[in-house]
Amino acid sequence: MLSRVADSLYWMSRYLERAEHTARLVDVELQLWLDQSPETGAGRWRFLLEGLHAPGAKGAVDAAKLMNALVFSRTNASSIVSCIATARENLRHVREQCSSEMWEQLNRLYLNVMQTSPDEAWMVKSHGFFRAVQEGTHLFQGITDATMSHGEGWQYIQLGRYVERTDTLASLMEAHFKRNAQPAEQVVESAEYLEWVALLRSCLAFEAYCKAYTAEIRPLRVAEFLILTPEFPHSVRFSVDRINAALHVIGDLTERREKSPTRIAGRLRAQLSFSQIEEIMVQGPHAYLENVRSECAAIHSAIHEIYFDYPIESEMAS
Amino acid sequence: MTATALPSRSRVQPSFVRYQFETAYDEMFSAPGVPREHYQALHRTLLGLPQEELLKRQQAADLTFLHEGITFTVYGSKEGTEKIFPNDLVPRIIPSIEWAKIEKGLTQRLTALNMFLRDIYHEGRILSEGLVPRELVYSCKHFRREMRGLNVPRDIYVSICGTDLVRLPDGNFAVLEDNLRVPSGVSYMLANRKVLKRVFPTMFRDYGVWPVDHYPQALLATLRSLTPENCQYRQDPTTILLTPGVSNSAYFEHTFLAQQMGIELVEGRDLLVHDNVVYMRTTAGLRRVDVIYRRVDDDFLDPLCFRPDSILGVPGLFNAYRAGNVTIANAIGTGVADDKAVYAYVPEIIKFYLNEEAILPNVPTFLMTNGKHRNHVLQNLEKMVVKAVGESGGYGMLIGPHSTEQQREEFRARILAEPRNYIAQPTLSLSCAPCLIDGEVESRHIDLRPYILMGEKVTLVPGGLTRVALRKGSLVVNSSQGGGSKDTWVLREGNGEDRVAKIPSFERKAG
C-alpha cells in the first residue's frame, strides 16, 4: 500500500473520530446545562474546552460564540465541520481505496453538515444535529466494516480511530480529575452526581457502567471502568488493545513487526493490562493519564516514521 | 428555419411541445414528427411519461451523481470548484451499421497516426517526401526532441485515444479532433450507463444495447500488453495510474479507473527514480513500477527534462523511460499528432502509411500559415470557428456566429501575430438530439467521443461519451464550458431481436 494512501486513511479516521467525540461532548454538555444552576453552567463551558484541549479556556465564555467555534468554525481545525470536511478531503484523495458505499456515506454526512448554519432555530434543535453527526459517523464505521476488505488499509482506519480515541479519552478524564476531588469509593450525591454521569455519557458509557456496577455512581469505579475495562469500546484499555491488534497485522503484512510502533504500543498495553485502579490513584490519575497521552503521541510519531515518511536511504541499503 | 416537432399543436403531447428543428441533422426525427426507426421505441416511451415522472427521474439521477461525488473541477471559477457533470437522461442511439463504420474508421485512423508518430521520431520519411511540411511538425509545441530515436513497446505511441466525432447535416460522421494525449471522460460514459440502466431498465433491455462495462478491464489488458522489455516479472507487471492530484479537473475519473482496474493511484510525490528504475513508496518499502498510465501532461512529467518548476512529476522519470525500464502510456510527444494544424493532413497521412482512403473524413480546415486560407478566414470571421492549435477542452476558441465584434478583432490580431498557432473551420451545425430540459424534451447539439484502445490488439468499447451543449443553440459541448453528457447506446444487430448470447466482435488485431 502506498505510504501516502495509508497516511490519508489514518488521518481520515482520526478526524472522523474527533468530530464524533466533539459532537458527543457538546451534546452532553447542552443536556447537562439544563439541569444546572446558571453559575455552575458557565463554569462547565470552560471545563468542556479543557476536556477537548481547545484554546480559549481562559476568560469569560459566551455560549453562542463557543458553540460556533466548536461546531461550525472553519478557522478552528478541530471544529466538527472542519473535522468532517478534512476527513472527506482525506478520503477524496484516496477514493479508489475505499468502497463506493463508504465514500457515499461520508459525502452525505459532509453535505448534511455543510447545509446547516448556526442560527436561532439551530440552537433550539441542536440535539438533532449532534445526533446526526454521531449517527453519520457510526454508520460510516459500520459501512466500512461491512464493505471494505479488512486488509492493510482497513487496519490504518482502525489505527487512526483508536489512536484518536485514546488521546481524547485521556484528555477528557484528565480535565475531569483535575476539576473534581480524588475519586472515592463512596456513592456521590446531587451536583457531583451530575458531573460524573456527564463524564460517563460523554464516553457513551452510562448504560454499560450501570450494567457492571448498578446505578450507584462511585467515582473510583467510574475511573476504573473508563480506564481499565477491556470490553468497553470507549475505555482507554480497549482502545490501546485495538491499536496493538492493528499494528500487529500491519507489522506482519509489511514485515516490520520488530519496529518501534509495535514496541511502544505493546509497552502501553502491558501497563494498562496489569494496572489496578487503587495503584493509579496512589500515583495520581492525572500523571497516569498524562503518561498515556505521551505514549500515544509516541506511537503516532513512530507510525509516521516507519510507514508514512521513512528515509529513502535506509530502504535502498537493504 | 424552425418548426415544432409534431404537425399540429392541438395533438401535440406535452413532452415534445418545445422541440425545435433546425438545418442540422436530427438524431431522432427524419422529418418533423416522424421518428427514425431505431428511435421509435424511445419516442413512444417519452410520450407515455408524464412531465412530473420525467422530472422525478431526472432528479433521482442528479442525486445519484451528487452522492457518488461524480464531479469535475472547473478552472477559474470562483464559486465551489467541484461540480456535477450534468447528465441528460435521454439516450443517444447508434444503429449497428453506423457503428461498424465508426469502428473501422477509427481503427484505421489510429493505426496511421501511430505509424506517423513512429516515423517523425525516427526516419521522418513523410517529412522527406514533403507530404507533411517539416516546419509544421518541428514548430509544434508538443513535438519532443527528446523522443528522437527512442523505441517504445510495440511501436505504439498512442494506446488510449478519445476521438471527437460530429455528424454533419448529410448524416455522415466526420472527425473533429483527435485527442492523443490524455483524453478524459470515459468514466462518465460508464457512470451514465449505470444511472440509465437504473432509470429505464425495461426499455434498456428491450433495445438490445451492447454493454460498455468491460472498458476498465480492456484498458488494463492494453496497458499490460505494453510491458517494457526489462520488466522483471513480465507475467505480472506493476501497473499504476499517475494523477496530478485531487485538484485536477478529471480527478474523479482517475480514482474511478484506478479502482475499477485494481491498480494503485499514484501521485508524483509517491514515486522516485534510482539507477533509472522507478519505485513507489509503500508502507512495506519501495516497490518497482513497470507500466505507468499517466494522466499528467508531458510538460509536468519530469522536472529534470521538461518544465523545471513542475512538482507533479518525478525527477529522472524520462531517463528511466529512455533506459527501457518503464512504459509510459500514452508515450511522450504524442501531442504533435493531434495538433490542430497537423490534423488537416491526417487524410494524407492515412494514405501515405496504409495506402487507403480515410474512412471517416475530416472537417474542412483552413491553415492560418497559408496566405490564401488566412485571407479567406479573416474576411469571414463571423462564420468561422477559430481554434488555437495546441489547446483542448474548449479553451482558446472563437465561435464566429456567437462572437462579438471585439472578440473577433482580438482573434484577428492574434492570428496575424502568430499564424502557426491558429486554424479555422467553417461553423458546423452539429447534429441535434432530444434532451430533457426542465421536464420537457427539447433539441440540443451533440457530438460523440468513442474511446479506442491499442495494445496487443485494438479495442473499441461499443459506446462512448455523447456530449451535449446544454445551452439552447450553443455549439460548445465541453464540460468546462457548460456542456453535459448522455448515455450512448450502440445497438446489436436488427434492433435487438437476436441479441441473445453474442460475443462482442469489436476486437481485432492491430494492422
**Residue B370: its pLDDT value, please?**
87
Mutation site, A4, A10, A115, interface B, largest B CB count within 10 A: A4
Residues of chain B positioned with their CB less than 8 A from the CB of A307: 283
**Does one domain contain both B401 and B445?**
no
**Structural domains counted in chain A:** 2
For the ranges A166-175, A305-314, B382-391, B472-481, the maximum mean pLDDT occurs at A166-175
The last residue of a domain, from among A121, A148, A175: A148
**Does one domain contain both B192 and B230?**
no
**Does one domain contain both A280 and A155?**
yes
**Does one domain contain both B84 and B195?**
yes
**Residue B494: its pLDDT value, please?**
57
The last residue of a domain, from among B377, B403, B426: B426
Return the higher-pLDDT residue of A199 and B477. Answer: A199
Of the candidates A92, A94, A315, the beta carbon closest to that of B285 is on A315
**Does one domain contain both A155 and A135?**
no
The reply to whether residue B285 touches residue A254, judged by beta carbons under 8 angstroms, is: yes
In a domain, residue B501? The reply is no
Reduce the DSSP state of residue B2 to 3 states and report it: coil
The CATH number of whichever domain residue B372 belongs to comes to 3.30.1490.270
The torsion angles phi and psi of B115, rounded to 5 degrees, stand at -65, -35
**Does one domain contain both B130 and B274?**
yes
In a domain, residue B507? The reply is no
- Is the pLDDT score of A203 beyond 80? yes
Q: In which band, very low, low, confident or very high, does the pLDDT at A41 lie, cut at 50, 70 and 90?
A: low
**Residue B504: its pLDDT value, please?**
41
**Residue A260: its pLDDT value, please?**
87
Q: How many CB atoms lie within 10 A of CB B307?
A: 15
Residues of chain B positioned with their CB less than 8 A from the CB of A312: 272, 274, 281, 286
**Does one domain contain both A184 and A126?**
no
In a domain, residue B173? The reply is no
**Does one domain contain both B341 and B313?**
yes
The last residue of a domain, from among B335, B358, B381: B358
The residue among B389, B469, B485, B388 whose CA lies nearest residue B185 is B485
**Does one domain contain both B48 and B70?**
yes
The last residue of a domain, from among A148, A177, A212: A148
Instruction: List C-alpha distances in Å: B477 to B161, B397, B467.
Output: 18, 12, 6
The CATH number of whichever domain residue B299 belongs to comes to 3.40.50.11290
Q: Residue B464 sits in which domain range?
A: 9-96+186-211+439-496
Residues of chain B positioned with their CB less than 8 A from the CB of A2: 264, 266, 270, 280-283
**Does one domain contain both A235 and A121?**
no
**Does one domain contain both A257 and A164?**
yes
The last residue of a domain, from among B341, B358, B375: B358
Cβ density class B491-503: b for 16+ within 10 Å, e for less: bbeebbeebeeee
The helix or strand, by DSSP H or E, that contains position B165, with its residue range, turns out to be strand B164-167
Cβ–Cβ under 8 Å, residues B94 and B488: yes
**Structural domains counted in chain B:** 3
- Is the pLDDT score of A55 beyond 90? no
**Does one domain contain both B122 and B231?**
yes
The residue among B38, B42, B37 whose CA lies nearest residue B435 is B42
**Residue B362: its pLDDT value, please?**
94
The partner residues of B448 in beta bridges, in order of sequence, read B165
Query: Over chain B, what is the mean pLDDT?
Result: 87
**Does one domain contain both A136 and A44?**
yes
Contacts of A243 (CB under 8 A, 6+ apart): A159, A162, A163, A166, A265, A269, A299
In a domain, residue B176? The reply is no
DSSP B52: H
**Does one domain contain both B131 and B22?**
no
In a domain, residue B503? The reply is no
A312 touching B (Cβ < 8 Å)? yes
**Residue B49: its pLDDT value, please?**
84
The reply to whether residue B265 touches residue A96, judged by beta carbons under 8 angstroms, is: yes
**Does one domain contain both A106 and A45?**
yes
**Does one domain contain both B455 and B340?**
no
Identify the weakest region by mean pLDDT among A123-132, A246-255, B93-102. Answer: A123-132
The reply to whether residue B282 touches residue A3, judged by beta carbons under 8 angstroms, is: yes
In a domain, residue B434? The reply is no
Amino acid identity of A176?
A: H
Of the candidates A1, A100, A104, the beta carbon closest to that of B282 is on A1
The ipTM of this complex is 0.79
Instruction: List C-alpha distances in Å: A199 to A66, A214, B287.
Output: 20, 16, 48
The residue among A224, A208, A195, A170 whose CA lies nearest residue A53 is A170
The reply to whether residue B280 touches residue A2, judged by beta carbons under 8 angstroms, is: yes
A147 touching B (Cβ < 8 Å)? no
A152 touching B (Cβ < 8 Å)? yes
The reply to whether residue B68 touches residue A103, judged by beta carbons under 8 angstroms, is: yes
The reply to whether residue A6 touches residue B283, judged by beta carbons under 8 angstroms, is: yes
Cβ–Cβ under 8 Å, residues B333 and B142: yes
In a domain, residue B509? The reply is no
Reduce the DSSP state of residue B436 to 3 states and report it: strand
**Does one domain contain both A237 and A191?**
yes
Q: In which band, very low, low, confident or very high, does the pLDDT at A42 lie, cut at 50, 70 and 90?
A: low
Q: What is the pLDDT of residues A267-281, one digit of tens each?
A: 999 999 999 999 998
**Does one domain contain both A74 and A172?**
no
Of the candidates B255, B280, B284, the beta carbon closest to that of A96 is on B255
Q: In which band, very low, low, confident or very high, does the pLDDT at A141 lie, cut at 50, 70 and 90?
A: very high
The last residue of a domain, from among A97, A128, A148: A148
Q: Residue A309 sits in which domain range?
A: 150-318
Please tell me the distance in Å from A107's CA to the nearest CA on chain B. Answer: 6
**CA A265/CA A299 separation, integer angstroms:** 6
**Does one domain contain both B248 and B325?**
yes
Interface of B with A in 19-78 (CB under 8 A): 66-69
SS3 of chain A: CEHHHHHHHHHHHHHHHHHHHHHHHHHHHHHHHHHCCHHHHHHHHHHHHHHCCCCCCCCCCCHHHHHHHHHHCCCCCCCHHHHHHHHHHHHHHCHHHCCHHHHHHHHHHHHHHHHCCCCHHHHHCHHHHHHHHHHHHHHHHHHHHHHCCCCHHHHHHHHHHHHHHHHHHHHHHHHHHHHCCCCCCCCCCHHHHHHHHHHHHHCCCHHHHHHHHCCCCCHHHHHHHHHHCCCCCCCHHHHHHHHHHHHHHHHHHHCCCCCHHHHHHHHHHHHHHCCCHHHHHHHCHHHHHHHHHHHHHHHHHHHHHHHHCCCHHHHHHC
B286 touching A (Cβ < 8 Å)? yes
**Does one domain contain both A206 and A114?**
no
**Does one domain contain both A159 and A307?**
yes
Please state, for a pLDDT cut of 90, what percent of chain A lies above it: 59
**Does one domain contain both B348 and B380?**
no
Please state, for a pLDDT cut of 70, what percent of chain A lies above it: 94
The reply to whether residue A152 touches residue B283, judged by beta carbons under 8 angstroms, is: yes
In a domain, residue B474? The reply is yes
**Does one domain contain both A185 and A104?**
no
**Does one domain contain both B224 and B349?**
yes
**Residue B468: its pLDDT value, please?**
93
B274 touching A (Cβ < 8 Å)? yes
pLDDT tens, residue order, chain B (511 aa): 344 444 433 344 556 777 888 788 999 999 888 999 999 999 988 888 888 888 888 888 888 887 777 776 666 554 455 677 788 999 999 999 999 999 999 999 999 999 999 999 999 999 999 999 998 999 898 999 999 999 999 999 999 999 999 999 999 999 999 999 999 899 999 999 998 888 888 888 899 999 999 999 999 999 999 999 888 777 889 999 999 988 888 888 998 999 899 999 999 999 999 999 999 999 999 999 999 999 999 999 999 999 998 889 999 999 999 999 999 999 999 999 998 889 999 999 999 999 999 999 999 999 988 889 899 999 998 889 898 887 766 677 888 888 888 989 988 998 998 888 899 999 888 899 999 888 788 999 999 999 999 999 999 999 999 999 988 888 888 766 778 899 999 998 754 444 333 434 444 444 3
The reply to whether residue A316 touches residue B256, judged by beta carbons under 8 angstroms, is: no
Cβ–Cβ under 8 Å, residues A218 and A209: no
The reply to whether residue B68 touches residue A104, judged by beta carbons under 8 angstroms, is: yes
Please tell me the distance in Å from B418's CA to the nearest CA on chain A. Answer: 40
